[in-house]
Amino acid sequence: MVVIGGGQSGLAAGYHLRRLGVDFVILDARSAAGGAWQHTWDSLRLFSPAAHSSLPGRLMPPQISRTCPDAQHVVEYLADYEKRYELPVERPVRVHGVHRDGRFLRVESDSGMWRARAVISATGTWWRPFLPAAPGRADFEGRQLHTVGYGSPRDFTGRRVIVVGGGNSGAQIAADLAYDTELTWVTRRPPRYLADDIDGRALFDAATARRRALDAGRTDTGGVASLGDIVAVPPVREARDRGLLKASPMFSRLTRDGVEWADGTRAEADAIIWCTGFRPSLFHLAPLQLRGRRGHIATIGTRTVDEPRLHLLGYGDWTGPASATLIGVGRPAREAAREISALLSA
């Protein structure tokens, strides 16, 4: 069988497939281990302490002098994880299409073709940044970038920067820029911070409780969204408490040199950073013509309803509670591996 994607989700799947004795390969488009964590901005810190950011089988070691590790620490952990469990990752291999081929799924890539009796797609969301429609976008003559293109405040020192987005990326990048730039932070609704003592563990618990309630036919608990939108990691807390994170409402259009609100107020800008989220990176599944609601393919657990040989892993709560987190992907990975093992031995 084939796992597409060698980030944390693909590795967690690999761990369980290996334990179950399944013959598999992991195909990963990057040339090095670490998935999306290789590309995040310099100051990013995990929401949770290392031990609560672990994949199945191996605790993430603590990072010296940091309670919540940085992205490089995660990259090193994933590289070690892959080696430790001798996971068969082939890279760089980019899959461009998965096709039905009789009793097989045919996985076509830039490095050859595989016939698999089952496939796990674990390609993440980082590779498909989302930009909302914005009147006047083409008129703006300054620099526009998405979260994925942001690296460090050094690139913007002394500049007028507008950060768009009231989620974790928007808040963290705004906090990063609050000291050395002329910052305008724009959010669609007033920022909703989680309580200062809430970290990734509580998010995982909330996502799990919601899934359990929905599965049992009970009232929707609201999950993570019921707690807030922004984890108050230390840099965000500090900038907020110093009064540097004042949010303005969403502007109505971009102009040649900045943005304009509905009441005619304007702000000039050298750069606009769109921290407006991601979509699942699923282009390689287009040949299977699977449909679902709101761009999601319909699944039961991780199994695709209209193609039971295909499992989707790590894309968000719709593929398992908190499955797009380090701590959360283990359980759905185990379920996917078990189902596939049963399918292959049937």
Chosen residue from 2, 13, 22, 36 binding ligand FAD by CB under 6 A: 36
Residue span 39-68 as binding mask against ligand FAD, x where in contact by CB under 6 A, dash where not: -x-----xx-----x---------------
Which stretch in 35-43, 100-108, 131-139, 338-346 sits in contact with ligand FAD by CB under 6 A? 35-43
> CA 144 to CA 137: how far, in whole Å?
9
Q: How far is the CB of 244 from ligand FAD (least distance, A)?
A: 20
Per the listing, tokens 């830039």 go with 110
How many residues touch ligand FAD (CB under 6 A)? 34
Which residues, numbered 206-265, are part of the site for ligand FAD (CB under 6 A)?
A: none
- Chain-centre distance for alpha carbon 11: 15
Chosen residue from 54, 169, 187, 304 binding ligand FAD by CB under 6 A: 169
Q: How far is the CB of 256 from ligand FAD (least distance, A)?
A: 30
Burial class (CB within 10 angstroms; exposed 0-12, middle 13-18, buried 19+) of 184: buried
Q: Does 314 bind ligand FAD (CB under 6 A)?
A: yes
Chosen residue from 18, 19, 94, 201 binding ligand FAD by CB under 6 A: 94
> Which CB sits closer to ligand FAD, 6 or 258?
6
> CA 256 to CA 268: how far, in whole Å?
9
Q: Does 81 bind ligand FAD (CB under 6 A)?
A: no
243-to-197, 239, 248 alpha-carbon distances in Å: 20, 6, 13
Q: Does 27 bind ligand FAD (CB under 6 A)?
A: yes
> CA 334 to CA 120: how far, in whole Å?
12
Q: How far is the CB of 202 from ligand FAD (least distance, A)?
A: 12
Q: Does 325 bind ligand FAD (CB under 6 A)?
A: yes
From 36, 42, 46, 11, select the one nearest 26 (Cα to Cα). 11
DSSP assignment string, 59-126: PPPPBTTBSS-BHHHHHHHHHHHHHHTT--EE-S--EEEEEEETTEEEEEETTEEEEES-EEE---ST
Q: What is the sign of the dihedral through the CA atoms of 195, 277, 165 and 69?
A: positive
Q: How many residues does the chain have?
A: 346
Q: How far is the CB of 146 from ligand FAD (least distance, A)?
A: 11
From 341, 268, 289, 280, select the one nearest 313 (Cα to Cα). 280
Residue span 103-132 as binding mask against ligand FAD, x where in contact by CB under 6 A, dash where not: -------------------xxx-xx-----
Q: Which residues bind ligand FAD (CB under 6 A)?
A: 4-10, 27-30, 35-37, 40, 46-47, 53, 94-95, 122-124, 126-127, 169, 200, 281, 284, 314, 324-327
